[in-house]
Amino acid sequence: MQKWERSQKVADLSTIEEIAKEAGVSRSTVSRVINNDPNVNEQTRERVLEVVNSNNYVPNRAARKLAGGRTGVIGLVIPIGVSRLFVEPFFPILIQSVTNRCNQVNRSVMFWLGEPEYERRSITQILSNDLLDGVIVSSLKDQDPIVAALHHSQIPFVLIGRYRDLPVNFVDIDNEKCAQVAVNYLLQTGRKRIATITGVADTMVSRERLDGYRATLAKAGFAVDNNLIAEGGFVEEGGYAAMAKIFPHKPDAVFATNDAMAVGAIRFLREQGVRVPEDVGVVGFDDAPFAASYKPALTTIAQPIGELGRRAVDMLVNVIEQQPNDVMNEIFASDLIIRESA
């Protein structure tokens, strides 16, 4: 009930003008204080701050926005369907890390999840949503029109995962390198017929991981057998189906480009009476929370998902506030976690 009273008090002095009066200064001075303008006398600042805090004053975001300021609201757009959203741990972790960081830096998050497909309406809604200071977009398909639209608009934005066609701000991991590490490990452990299960076509991340797979195999002097490549759409069922397609071609290892598909693949193998890792080694990708406790525990590439989300927020805030001329990129390292499955 105490908190209840506090929140009651919120309503008492709720405009900048009221705070100003209480503190014995002008509206402008209060504005300067809450916006960290250096041109304020230190004592005045303290006095104002005290009134602000004791009244639990929070500036009205709508008014602030209208007057040309910022709202402190960041948009998060993840254009994928339900099926992936709740199967891949990537997304909950990402969402969590983005929202947490936003809260830390005193921002709110507005959310758009995978519409079946962008229509003009959705994009318009996001872009012309005057409440947003900036936007974070993850898991794009190639040519997703939202990027061009965002790029053309003046709204600051950051991608999680890179984009080919335009110079944009992004954070990402080095997918090609990751694939290389995974495949090399498989090669080192003596595998000869290494398959791969790819994610979603039209996707940078899928393409890069596949490129890495191909390049590494080629470099090691192995021919790439297209029968050993199948698409799994990043979901467990897809991994199962892809494994079914690949299996007749006698792989002795599989690089599944995420853990959900690795699990699907293992499920298929198990049903065939194939032992993992003895007969076929499986490497996943993501280091999902279940990866360690799964039987067999998954050998997998650990993406710093939380770090990606946090950095995306920081980068976006930086773009919003500093308006730099150059685009910013940041590539994160990932590790191979060796466990039981390969």
- Cβ at position 126, least distance to DNA in Å: 17
* Contact criterion met (CB below 8 Å) for 13 and 52: no
- Cβ at position 111, least distance to DNA in Å: 23
What is the Cα–Cα distance from 244 to 239, expressed in whole angstroms?
Answer: 9
Burial class (CB in 10 A: 0-12, 13-18, 19+), 281: buried
* The one among 164, 290, 324, 331 contacting a copy of itself by CB under 8 A: 290
Which residues 223-262 are close enough to bind DNA by CB under 7 A?
Answer: none
* Contact criterion met (CB below 8 Å) for 146 and 129: no
| Cα dihedral value 169, 173, 174, 178, nearest 10 | -170
What secondary structure letter does DSSP report for 165? S
- Cβ at position 52, least distance to DNA in Å: 10
250 vs 270 by CB, closer to a copy of itself: 270
* The one among 34, 148, 274, 297 contacting a copy of itself by CB under 8 A: 148
What is the Cα–Cα distance from 232 to 246, expressed in whole angstroms?
Answer: 11
Give me the amino acid identity at 61: R
Rule CB under 8 A: is residue 71 a binding residue for a copy of itself? yes
34 contacts which partner out of DNA, a copy of itself, none, CB within 5 to 8 A by kind? DNA
What is the Cα–Cα distance from 304 to 285, expressed in whole angstroms?
Answer: 11
155 contacts which partner out of DNA, a copy of itself, none, CB within 5 to 8 A by kind? none
Which element (helix H / strand E) includes 160? Answer: strand 157-160
Rule CB under 7 A: is residue 15 a binding residue for DNA? yes
x/- binding map, residues 40-69, to DNA, per CB under 7 A? Answer: xxx-x------------x-xx--xx-xxxx
- Cβ at position 86, least distance to a copy of itself in Å: 4
Q: Which among 263, 230, 261, 224 has a CA at the least distance from the CA of 245?
A: 230
Rule CB under 8 A: is residue 60 a binding residue for a copy of itself? yes
Q: What are phi and psi of 74, to 5 degrees?
A: -115, 135
51 vs 95 by CB, closer to a copy of itself: 95
Q: Which among 176, 177, 141 has a CA at the least distance from the CA of 159?
A: 141
Binding site for a copy of itself (CB under 8 A): 1, 3-4, 6-8, 10-11, 14, 56, 58, 60-63, 65-66, 71, 73, 76, 82, 85-87, 89, 91-93, 95-96, 99-100, 103, 108-115, 118, 120, 122-125, 127-131, 145, 148-149, 152-153, 236-237, 267, 289-290, 293
